[in-house]
Amino acid sequence: MTNSDLHTLARWMTGQFDNLDQSQRDPAWFVALRLWCQPLPPTANVILNDIAGTEGAIGLFVEQAPLPAGDKPYRQRLFLLCPAIADHALTVEYFGFHDQRPYIGAGLDPSRLAAISHDAIQTLNNARFPLVRSVIASSPAPIPIKSAPSTTATSRDTSVSDSKFRRRNGSVSIGASIPKPVKVSGGR
């Protein structure tokens, strides 16, 4: 994957998704979830880059909720999509919050993300993974509006495909504003 793929991936990941079809087909293995993914405001993106010791990475806020109780989001996380350096692959690094309460519901109300500070972010051990592009299937037919483009992010023996999720109409658009890379000096 190239650094230009980084911005494409961030655009594809931005929005509101659910796995309702998958959970109905195989309820023994999958719980119906809704997932929100929002780009971080520029200030929060600079803070996250500083903590990770990276430059030009794109920060995303991710939150999920069970579909039957969509008003009870949980598992707030930050994803940092990091550019390739030399011959190394693009990576994603996951971060948590020391106290998630101020950010509960930020998937639907991204203005809450403006309050992110250095002290709020929790680094997670062993939470940086390479991103590898692999083709699941190809089709000459156009992709339906409700589906995101089919790509796979692979880490170790785990594959996560965005084709498992369905984009909800009326949510954040695919072309949502992704912050431009910002140079950050130093790191912690």
C-beta atoms surrounding 139 within 10 Å: 7
| Global confidence as pTM | 0.70
Q: What pLDDT does 30 receive?
A: 93
3-state secondary structure of 116: coil
Please, are residues 100 and 63 in contact by the beta-carbon 8 Å criterion? no
Q: What confidence tier does 83 reach under pLDDT thresholds 50, 70, 90?
A: confident
Domains, the chain, ranges and CATH? Answer: 3-167 (2.40.128.590)
Judged against a pLDDT cut of 70, whether residue 98 lies above it is answered with yes
- Read off the pLDDT of residues 43-62 as tens digits, 9 standing for 90 and up: 999 999 999 999 899 999 99
Burial 56-69 (b: 16+ CB within 10 A, else e): bbbbbbbbbbeeee
